[in-house]
Amino acid sequence: MPEIGEVARIVHYLHIHLVGKTLAVIKAQHDENVFGKVGTSAAEFEKALTGKKVVGARQQGKYFWLVMSSPPHPLFHFGMAGWWKIRNHETAYYKPSKHDESTWPPKYWKFTLQTAEPPKSEHAFVDSRRFARIRLIDCAAEEMRNVSPLKENGPDPVIDKDILTEEWLVQKLQTKHVPVKALLLDQANISGIGNWVGDELLLDAKIHPEQYSNTLTPAQMKQLHKSIHYVCSTAVELRAESDKFPETWLFKHRWGKGKKDDPQRLPNGEKIKFLTVGGRTSAIIPSIQKKTGDVKADLHGSSEENEGSDEDEEAIPKKAKKAARKNQKAKDEDEPETDGKPAKPAAAKSKKRAAKDEEEPEAKPAPEDEPPPSKRAKAKPKAESNGIPKTEANGAKASKLSKRRAKEADSAPPKTNQPQEQETEEPSRRRRAERVSYAGM
């Protein structure tokens, strides 16, 4: 991600090739992420800037903007992979990009613009990952830093040295209980410090990135203040040209992580190790950056990564994640569910209890038709004289009765369809006839 030094590089080129010129032609293609998520559209961008003059270019941390002859002013953030290209001029940092002058606009362009005055200058804003943001801020130019999103960002280490004093930094560190690198990466605290700048200044200060900010000693906080200004000012002054960085900086040796032929060492032989802090891969020199206070990894488990790992934004190391998933799976298999809800975990057994369980035979499960254990204890089945429990004897008797009834039903004559009244009427006639015969005797 472009950080404070890379953004300063682009602002430098804007002063050379764009400031003082009129924007004659602007073409923008809408991207819902780049424009839409911050309330702007490509059509609004074209309409707002076409025909206006660029009178300045400014920066705060990772943000930069063009000061126009009248509002609104365009505000830019590169995100993870955004960049500003100028035709026939190299603006790339670290390693020069390969020019292809026959292809314009360049790949992944979001907008292009062309100046009116000769020599005409053509520019393009590109972003392959679509994390960049382009806004239109409708306010006076001198009020840009007093409106959102700039007002929510902390002071710039280079521009705001009068704000980012040692006393200011000490208060910020002591009032927060977070890993010191996570505090530095939070743009609400300090603007412009990203992953590689944060690693560089922590190495210069000899501070472990995971150490909690409020556990730093006064001497460490004093040195951290010096390191912030030294690293950020150097990156801006050199416009992020890595070839000019000091040989002792991590930046020149850290990018071989995962490559077998890369020694991953500083020129003096110090080995570079990698761990994850604040969701980002951090490069450290363990022999220099000692733990002098509470460290998150010691309290919540190690966060060191394998040197060959190429995960860049992993909050939890791979081994810890794998072990946690394995333990959770075993736990889920051991714990039954009750009425669709996971059963509460049983309390840990004592050693004596565990030994007793091993000696005692496992109890047989109760039949489904038996009452709960609490009721069974009160109403025990009575035993018959022959030693057979009453429940079993009754069961056998019921079984014999069922068989006998089934046998009688098979041998009985089939029923007729004669009405029920006739079956009851015939016996009554017979009884009357018998009464008459008895009376005549």
| Residues annotated as catalytic (active site), given as ranges | 2-3, 62
- Tokens 């804003």, located at residue: 125
One-letter amino acid for residue 36 of the chain: G
Q: Do residues 192 and 162 make contact, with C-beta atoms less than 8 angstroms apart?
A: no
SS3 84: strand
User: Which two tokens mark 147?
Assistant: 């409106």
Residues sharing a CB contact under 8 Å with residue 4, sequence separation 6 or more, in sequence order? 61, 62, 156, 157, 158, 191, 192, 193, 194, 197, 232, 235, 236
One-letter amino acid for residue 260 of the chain: K
Q: Which helix (H) or strand (E) holds 135?
A: strand 133-137
403-418 in b/e burial notation, b at 16+ Cβ within 10 A?
A: eeeeeeeeeeeeeeee
Q: Is the peptide bond before 218 cis (omega within 30 degrees of 0)?
A: no
Q: Report the C-alpha gap between 181 and 210 in whole angstroms.
A: 7
SS3 127: strand
